[in-house]
Structure 1
Amino acid sequence: MNTRFRDRHDAGQALAEALSHYRQTPDLLVLALPRGGVPVAWEVAQALDAELDVLVVRKIGVPWQPEVAMGAIAGNGVRVMHDDMIRSLRIPQDEIDAIVRDETMELERRETTYRGHRPPLRIKNRTVIVVDDGLATGATMQAAVKALRAQSPARIVVAVPVSPPDTADDMARVADDVVCLMQPPGFAAVGQWYQRFDQTSDEEVQELLGLSAS
């Protein structure tokens, strides 16, 4: 497969097919990385008849190019940083600290917005499929896996529609299974593999989570 997806829902349906062997897994949990991972994960959870929830992770972007991740944070103080990149770009520590502070505030805001009064995630001894709309550097997904691993799941599956080959290889070293539909050698950005790649809104995230819970 080396074609573009129509949108995130189309990508989620294709990803669900590749994950169909997990459908009979007891107590299966599908976790989306918001916001863009939620429409993809919703399709996966529907197809696999699994519980859907979100795991909020925030990218720590390079100061002058925020879309490029030099690291990521998750809850409970989990942080994954690309130290080689930071050294090569000579990014001052005070700038990194300022970005981490801002992103921690945004992480907490999104936790409140998306999860509200939901009970804490129940991870222990469960198979968890972690879904995003694609990987670039993989920093946010690595932070997600690190945060989950501390809660003793039975198995962590990273599932994405598209990723650079080297990032997918990195994921295979931290997850128990990686399902990735496309690993194109000419990868430049996740959005290039979608015909429609509009930003997912908070309202859409809340709507899909509400539909899943109903």
Structure 2
Amino acid sequence: MIFKDRYYAGSKLAEKLSKYRNTKSVVLAIPRGGLEVGFVISKKLGLPLDIILTKKIGHPFNKEYAIGAVSIHGKIITDNSVPEEYIKKETKRLRDLLKKMYKTYIGKSQPLDLKDKNVIITDDGIATGSTILAAINIVKKNKPKKVIIAIPVSHTDAIEKIKDESDDIVCLKVDSGLAAIGQYYENFEQVSDEESIRLLWEANKNLNKDS
């Protein structure tokens, strides 16, 4: 399955998530690619959209290979063979970036209240699962009713990694041969900060974020 773009992938996910339309649910997108997917889910289901910020921690000798992920408030390490000093430095560097990103996207707005809500976490794809696991970890600290993962495409191993950590997974394409998320999209252009901010505003302009 090849998706025309992230918006198209989001529309296909929204069809599978129709039972959450106009319910006590929220959509959390992982920027920046996940925002285009999450925007469509949010609009089609009548749900508020917010972001959840995580960054993968790359291996010191191969930055594309994730050894874990970091959020503003926590981290997950999946490869314990890497020196602790490297992990500490990368965690601080990435956390500083995340704090700056959050201020850029959200400004002075308050995050969505997730308690007792169905929380739909989305991104444009999952390669290793480290980033989405970090996102799940953050969400669970807010005592949601359910955690739903909505993803256009994922590596088989990543699905196995997250299936016991979520209440439901909606994934349109699971592939054991996944090498890069972009190979499943005709258009996989990078999403700018400006576009990300616009999508957040557009999704929520007619919604009460605490609903």
TM-score range with shorter-chain normalisation? over 0.9
Identity %: 38
Amino acid in the other structure paired with 1:203: E
Q: Deviations for 1:18-41, whole angstroms, at most 9, x for unmatched residues?
A: 11122142x210000111100000
Equivalents in 2 of 1:133, 1:195: separation in Å? Answer: 13
Q: Deviations for 1:48-89, whole angstroms, at most 9, x for unmatched residues?
A: 11011111111111123222211111232x111113xx42xx
Equivalents in 2 of 1:43, 1:187: separation in Å? Answer: 24
1:49 aligned residue: 46
1:59 aligned residue: 56
How many correspondences in the alignment? 205
2:94 aligned residue: 103
2:144 aligned residue: 153
Once the 2 structures are TM-superposed, how far is the Cα of residue 95 of structure 1 from its aligned partner? Answer: 1.8
Once the 2 structures are TM-superposed, how far is the Cα of residue 117 of structure 1 from its aligned partner? Answer: 1.2
Amino acid in the other structure paired with 1:46: K
- More moved, 156-165 vs 65-74: 65-74
Q: Are the counterparts in 1 of residues 126 and 151 from structure 2 also a CA contact under 8 Å?
A: yes
Stretches of structure 2 that go unaligned for 5 or more consecutive residues are: 206-211
Equivalents in 2 of 1:34, 1:171: separation in Å? Answer: 19
TM-score normalised by structure 2 residue count: 0.93
SS of match in other structure, 1:198? coil
Once the 2 structures are TM-superposed, how far is the Cα of residue 120 of structure 1 from its aligned partner? Answer: 2.9
TM-score normalised by structure 1 residue count: 0.92
Amino acid in the other structure paired with 1:36: G
Instruction: Say which of 117, 124, 128 aligns to 2:108.
Output: 117
1:184 aligned residue: 175
Q: Are the counterparts in 2 of residues 40 and 132 from structure 1 also a CA contact under 8 Å?
A: yes
Once the 2 structures are TM-superposed, how far is the Cα of residue 136 of structure 1 from its aligned partner? Answer: 0.6
2:76 aligned residue: 80
Instruction: Say which of 194, 197, 200 aligns to 2:191.
Output: 200
Once the 2 structures are TM-superposed, how far is the Cα of residue 184 of structure 1 from its aligned partner? Answer: 1.7
Q: Deviations for 1:140-172, whole angstroms, at most 9, x for unmatched residues?
A: 110110111011000000110000112112211
Equivalents in 1 of 2:77, 2:161: separation in Å? Answer: 14
SS of match in other structure, 1:29? strand
Q: Are the counterparts in 2 of residues 75 and 147 from structure 1 also a CA contact under 8 Å?
A: no
Q: Are the counterparts in 1 of residues 153 and 172 from structure 2 also a CA contact under 8 Å?
A: yes
Q: Are the counterparts in 1 of residues 50 and 111 from structure 2 also a CA contact under 8 Å?
A: no
Once the 2 structures are TM-superposed, how far is the Cα of residue 189 of structure 1 from its aligned partner? Answer: 1.4
Equivalents in 2 of 1:24, 1:72: separation in Å? Answer: 32
Matched, 1:175 2:180: no
Q: Are the counterparts in 2 of residues 127 and 156 from structure 1 also a CA contact under 8 Å?
A: yes
Q: Are the counterparts in 1 of residues 118 and 147 from structure 2 also a CA contact under 8 Å?
A: yes
Q: Are the counterparts in 1 of residues 55 and 131 from structure 2 also a CA contact under 8 Å?
A: yes
Once the 2 structures are TM-superposed, how far is the Cα of residue 96 of structure 1 from its aligned partner? Answer: 1.8
Equivalents in 2 of 1:9, 1:199: separation in Å? Answer: 13
Relative to 1, partners in 2 of residues 1:121 and 1:24: Cα closer, same or farther, differing over 3 Å? Answer: closer
